[in-house]
Amino acid sequence: MNRQPESSLEESSPIVFFDGVCGFCNGTVDFLMTRDPDHRLRFAPLQGKTAQELLTEDQRNLDSIVLKDSTGVWKKSAAIVRILWHIGGGWKFLGTLLWLIPFPIRDVVYGLIARVRYRIFGKREACRMPTEEERNVILE
């Protein structure tokens, strides 16, 4: 499975780690921020300081979105499902529907998208710089 348990997780906001130079990943962060008006989630690039401090080298693999919350560290499709659960509302229902799909199938689809994301959505020269409004939810 994609879960990598942590023994001493802090009881803070869940953090979504993403590839900071990936156009698709940055679009996903924008999408999530607009659907999380209560700012339950925090975001940090996998190439940044926060990821260096909180994740292992294996967990910082740029081919996967990563969620670190009070239950552990989740990667790939398991992270997507749990992110949707954290947002709540209808997104929680969608996350539950995705969870019903066996994770090997979910991860194969996730892997296919991850493999072509730069070709389709582009790659930036540097990691995303948060706007003034985003500074409270996007970490270094």
Output the pTM of the full model: 0.86
The predicted-structure confidence for 62-107, as pLDDT tens digits, reads as follows: 889 999 999 999 999 999 999 999 999 999 999 999 999 999 999 9
Phi, psi of 89 (to 5 degrees): 60, -145
- What number of other Cβ atoms are within 10 A of residue 131's Cβ? 8
Kind and range of the H or E run holding 18: strand 15-18
Phi, psi of 85 (to 5 degrees): -65, -40
pLDDT value of residue 8: 34
What is the pLDDT averaged over residues 15-28?
A: 93
Q: Is the dihedral of CA 140, 31, 133, 125 positive or negative?
A: positive
CA separation for the pair 124, 140 (Å, rounded): 17
